[in-house]
A = this chain, B = another copy of it.
Amino acid sequence: MPHQILKVMSSNKIILRNDQIELIEELANVHERIGMPPAMSKILGLLAISDETELTFDQIKDTLELSKSAVSQALNHLLMSKRLSYKTKIGDRKRYFHLRIVDWDIHILEQFEGVSSLITVFKKIIANRPAETVEFNQNLEQMTNFLSLVHSQVIALHQKIEKKKS
Size range of the chain A interface in the assembly: 35 or more
A150 near B157 with CB under 8 A, answer yes
- In chain B, what residue has the closest Cβ to A20? B128
A64 lies within 8 A of chain B by Cβ: no
Separation in Å of the A80 CB from the closest CB of chain B? 17
Give the residue name and chain of the B residue nearest to A28 (CB): B121
Contact assessment for B27 and A125 in the assembled complex, using a CB-CB cutoff below 8 Å: yes
Shortest distance from the beta carbon of A133 to any chain B beta carbon, whole Å:
5
Choose the segment among A4-12, A65-73, A89-97, A136-144 that binds chain B (4+ C-beta atoms closer than 8 Å).
A136-144
Listed A/B pairs (7) with beta-carbon separation below 8 Å: A27-B125, A35-B35, A51-B130, A51-B132, A99-B136, A150-B153, A153-B154
